[in-house]
Amino acid sequence: MTAPLTEHAGIVTDVTARGPFDLAASAGFLDDVPPPARDPAVDGLALAFPVDGRWVPAGVLVRQRAPGPVRIEVSAPPDVVPAATVQAGRILSLDVDGGDFAAVAEADPVLDGLYRRWPGMRPVLFASPYEAACWAIMANRMGGGYATAVKQRIARRHGPRVRVGTAVLCAFPAPGVLAEVDGVAGLPERKVEWLRAIALAARSGELDAERLRGMEAEEALWRLRQLPGVGPHSAQLVLGRGAGHPDVFPRDDWRLRVAMARRYGVGPADVPALERLAERWRPYRGWAAHLVRLADDTPEPVGPTARGGG
């Protein structure tokens, strides 16, 4: 059965980033962690997601003529637009003051080189801690690419269709819908049970982004680890790339540890030494980790580059 199409007039808000921000640079690496449903053919960044707490679908079109303000156009019921605009800003890490990140990077020669290569880049997040937790459960022992494909399949079958500009996107289903799903092709029943538990936790407010960000990071991580199917690595993903906490060091991300080992000469299994290295990145340990891991996945440019000098 095809879900009905949600259409609303777009309401535009201009957001000025605190500190450097480049939408093109940030959106150019969206495969690092899957964003909300999007259409790469649209001029700008087109997204669709259920709005936190309200769970009403919203479509968002984001544009920027760097280094100017970010224009966020939201298609949703008028009473939901403010919350959807705030959520879109969080997805793009615009809710964080990044004005001191350059100084933090400058104090670390490795990080400084990466920052000069990608000035203005900020992590693009999952739509919400709820979606991040679902993806983490799907990815566990199956890989990120597989999890992304399953997440898209769930959205097509159970999620609402939303018009965003000229595109029609399938957003991830709201928690109330996911909690009633009997089975998901490609996922074992145990994982489907965990997804239903995550949906119930989201509906009860346990995965509210502001609530998680308002806690001490270690307390938030502990609370997340109490959810079915959420281990240490998944909890760090949910808090850092779901709730948008900029200072969560994902110490259980093996790929990050390997990337740091290559650039800093520390063994990837020596977690205490890696944590000591990351101390110099405060209060942007999550952002810095994003750059380090991204660099490990991206070929070095050949010859002069337009960013960061030669």
How many residues does this entry show for the chain? 310
Residue 145: both structure tokens together: 């690419």
CA dihedral 274, 147, 134, 180 (to 10 degrees): -170
Residue 114 CB contacts under 8 Å (≥ 6 apart), including other chains:
105, 291, 292, 294, 295
Q: Tens place of pLDDT for every residue, the chain, 310 residues?
A: 567 787 777 899 999 999 999 998 888 766 545 556 555 656 789 999 999 999 999 999 999 986 789 999 999 999 999 999 999 999 999 999 999 999 999 999 999 999 999 999 999 999 999 999 999 999 998 888 899 899 999 999 999 999 988 889 999 999 999 999 999 988 999 999 999 999 999 999 999 999 999 999 999 999 999 999 999 999 999 999 999 999 999 999 999 999 999 999 999 999 999 999 999 999 999 999 999 998 887 755 433 333 333 2
pTM over 0.75: yes
